[in-house]
Chain A
């Protein structure tokens, strides 16, 4: 099955700086890669996603890049703000009959004011 590894597990940045979170996946047939943000005590919420036919996608201060050859994808947050502090999860959609998301282990991002 699919295996997703996420790094780093914790990340602290100064307000206004950029943050980058990286994930690798094992199934070369995976074709959908969403990112979820989970604030403390709340539910995971989709913030951005990318499909395998696209190399980069941007939505205001967040962007995701995908390298299919290397089987890795990254989340980039620019001009970070304290409200960006949360746990971020990457995921990959496994191929085959059981099409289900496999999640990374999460990154705790802290934006220091």
Chain B
């Protein structure tokens, strides 16, 4: 299995632009998570989906952030408009079942820089 696949690996954009991050979970995994990692705040859960349905989006910073999972093999995290403080590494992760019953597998992340 190729693992969790994220694209792009790096994204540099100007403030105000729209940014879309993409994720393909491991085939057969039912849960998908978006995390943001910064030096100041560590690993923060933004949103998670179970069977393509958003379960908890309380970690989404503000309305500029949105996430979708149109099918079991694809999810997007969109930031519109982007701001310099959004600069971070964004990780997508998936698990076969509910976390705690199966391990969480991370993708390689997208390093976002907003200038």
Residues in B neighbouring A49, C-beta threshold 8 A: 103
Instruction: Say yes or no: is A100 at the interface (Cβ < 8 Å to chain B).
Output: yes
How many residues of chain B are within 8 Å of chain A by beta carbon?
19
Instruction: Say yes or no: is B77 at the interface (Cβ < 8 Å to chain A).
Output: no
Binds A, one of B15-23, B42-50, B63-71, B80-88: B42-50
Contact of B106 among A32, A44, A100, A104 (CB under 8 A): A44
Residues in A neighbouring B48, C-beta threshold 8 A: 100
B104 lies within 8 A of A34 (CB): yes
B108 lies within 8 A of A100 (CB): no
A98 lies within 8 A of B43 (CB): no
B59-112 interface with A by 8 A CB criterion: 91, 98-100, 103-109
Instruction: Say yes or no: is A88 at the interface (Cβ < 8 Å to chain B).
Output: no
A34 lies within 8 A of B103 (CB): yes
How many angstroms from the CA of A31 to the CA of B109 in the assembled complex?
Answer: 28
How many residues of chain A are within 8 Å of chain B by beta carbon?
21
Given known A43-B107, A43-B109, A98-B55, contact A32–B42 (CB-CB < 8 A): no
B56 lies within 8 A of A100 (CB): yes
A100 lies within 8 A of B91 (CB): no
In the complex, the chain A residue whose C-beta lies closest to that of B4 is A43
Residues in A neighbouring B106, C-beta threshold 8 A: 36, 43-45
Residues in A neighbouring B103, C-beta threshold 8 A: 34, 46, 49
A31 lies within 8 A of B100 (CB): yes
Residues in B neighbouring A102, C-beta threshold 8 A: 45
Residues in B neighbouring A32, C-beta threshold 8 A: 99-100
Contact of A98 among B42, B56, B91, B104 (CB under 8 A): B56
Smallest CB-CB A-B distances: 4 pairs: A32-B100, A43-B106, A103-B43, A98-B56
Chain B residues with CB under 8 Å of chain A are 33, 42-43, 45, 48, 55-56, 58, 91, 98-100, 103-109
